[in-house]
Structure 1
Amino acid sequence: MEDETLDVDVVDAPQPRPQSLVLAFFGNHVLDRGEGDLAVYSGSIIDVLGRVGTGEQAVRSTLTRMVNRGLLCRQREGRKMFFGLTPHANGILRDGGQRIWRDGAVNEDWDGTWTLLGFSLPESWQRQRHDLRSRLTWSGFGALYSGLWIAPGRVDVREIVSELGLDAHVKVFHARADEFTDIGLMIRESWDLESLAARYVAFDKRWTTADLAADPVATRLRLVAEWLRIIRTDPRLPVRHLPEEWPARQAQDTFRRIAEQTEGPAGRMAAEVLETTPLRARPTDGA
């Protein structure tokens, strides 16, 4: 059930996962605050996520899972529990910030190169195959054929492959397409452009008509979480090979306009309502 303090029209809007909201919260109001690493009181996190319809129990369960996954660390201050970012979560947020604020959703500077990744895994390795495909999708790859994936530009996949223990089963090449290749057709066959475009159109429609007058913290939290959810599935394909009037540009303009409008008010409100304390030490393993 959506919190009544949020006056954004969220009809048909996907509800972000609690973990995505927690990460968006830390990215908006904790990361790079200019006063050292901070930990946030659990009650403050519960209050803010409650503004976008996430219940207290869901928030507490999410915080516990994120500690277990090495994304957050706990810090007790008297009878209160505070949570801070681990180095792993810090890296995730900086990567997301790169995608959101610097790379953008429109690829106009593609140099014509592609990264090709081929793999062959034993039939019984279903989990490894699923994990590899998921990581490749996040990194912008599409399936050219079942065991051959492709992404625009030069993509470094060494960390992905090594983390999954698949070095001996993967081959990576960087190449250019021959003039014989219809790149536009290849893109349409390898990526679901229709679904991706529909997400941009829906985002733009929702936020163009949004009422931003009520709660800037809640508005910005939902805005950033929803935008990141979209661009995480966007491979940033070269715009010159996409359909005319590709909707990512208009959606990005809408996102940046509202992000700019809410940055100041959300920051001031967060400074008033959030209880923080210096993070004494971030364990290297996130435990």
Structure 2
Amino acid sequence: MEQVERSGQAPAMPAVADDILSAEAPRAAAFIVTVYGDVVEPRGGTLWMGTLIEVCSAHGISESLVRTAVSRLVASGRLLGERGGRRSFYRLTSAARREFAAAARILFAPPPPAAGWLLWADAADELPRDPWARIGPGLALAPDRADLDPPDGLLMRVETLKGAAALPEFAARYWELDGIANSYRAVIDRFAPLAEALSGGYGPDGAAALALRLRLVDQYRAVALRDPRLPSAALPADWPGRQCRALFVTLYRTLAPASDIYIGRHFQDADGLLLASTEGTALRLERLEREEYHPTD
């Protein structure tokens, strides 16, 4: 260890961290959304294309794939390009910032679990996105969540009067809970060894900390945004969402300090380097800290 410190080299990366970063490259468009949501949105929403190419290359995503994915994100109305001399910068559109803010609330400030159910008696032919599930002609059911926008038409709150033991079987018929549970378990299997390494003394440098954090957010985000967050009585007793959430909170907070310092030294927008910390990033960490010590479930 003394030789490593004197030589100025970064400490050796443990196998568990190397396994995460050397795994199959994430999908370019989804990963770019992760970069913007985790790093760029709370720091103004704009990033130099060169920075984006560099950060994606560390995850096995080529420059050509980055440029193709960015073009598609522009076409879909999420990004807007602008020139600054010979450099290209891409910023989030207003619509994308609203979308990213909604996703950030699920990741960094999830509301309390649903306590009951909403019954929509005028359900349209095409239902809104999850968590609505059609349970009969013109009828749709959803968890009564604080963050759920109420649809138009006749909407009622309903409660379980008896037979609550049958709720998990009922929920499994209308929501794809097995697939979501398997995705949560995959995140746990991938990242729990990293939590052990970090608690055992592994301290990644800034580049490695950010790379690990981005992989964590990318994989956790993919399943958390699919989770209908049903009332706990409707979930299996071994539901892995709670364990996965606790792992995400612990790892994100542990990796954040070195990651944010690295961002402040290497990420650029049209005005120069991004800030290492902003009011938005500080608020995220504050909320995660409160959740870690006072979990909601």
TM surpasses 0.5: yes
8 Å CA contact 1:115, 1:153 repeated in 2: no
* Pairwise CA RMSD: 2.9
Report the Cα distance in structure 2 between the residues aligned to 1:31 and 1:12, rounded to whole angstroms: 27
Q: Percent identity?
A: 24
1:68 CA displacement: 1.7
Distance 1:73 1:185, change over 3 A: same
Query: What is the aligned partner in structure 2 of residue 56 from structure 1?
Result: 63
Q: Trace 1:1-287 onto structure 2 (pairs within 5 A).
A: 7-10=17-20, 16-33=26-43, 37=44, 39-103=46-110, 108=113, 110-116=114-120, 118-119=122-123, 121=125, 129=126, 132=127, 135-137=128-130, 140-145=131-136, 148-153=139-144, 155-158=148-151, 171-177=153-159, 179=161, 182-210=166-194, 213=204, 215-278=208-271
The alignment covers a number of residue pairs equal to: 245
User: More relative contact order in 1 or in 2 (CA 8 Å, sep 6+)?
Assistant: 1
Report the Cα distance in structure 1 between the residues aligned to 2:50 and 2:262, rounded to whole angstroms: 16
1:98 CA displacement: 0.5
Deviates more, 1:215-224 or 1:16-25: 16-25
Deviates more, 1:142-151 or 1:265-274: 142-151
Question: What residue identity is the alignment partner of 1:204?
Answer: I
TM-score w.r.t. the length of structure 2 is 0.73
SS in 2 for 1:188: helix
List gaps (5 residues or longer) in structure 2.
Answer: 1-15, 199-203, 273-297
Q: Which structure carries more helix by proportion?
A: 2
Report the Cα distance in structure 1 between the residues aligned to 2:150 and 2:32, rounded to whole angstroms: 27
1:146 CA displacement: 7.1
Report the Cα distance in structure 2 between the residues aligned to 1:11 and 1:75, rounded to whole angstroms: 31
SS in 2 for 1:31: helix
SS in 2 for 1:9: helix
Distance 1:204 1:81, change over 3 A: same
Distance 1:152 1:120, change over 3 A: closer
Query: What is the aligned partner in structure 1 of residue 13 from structure 2?
Result: none
Distance 1:61 1:51, change over 3 A: same
SS in 2 for 1:7: helix
Query: What is the aligned partner in structure 2 of residue 125 from structure 1?
Result: none
Report the Cα distance in structure 2 between the residues aligned to 1:12 and 1:151, rounded to whole angstroms: 39
Question: What residue identity is the alignment partner of 2:36?
Answer: F
Distance 1:46 1:146, change over 3 A: farther
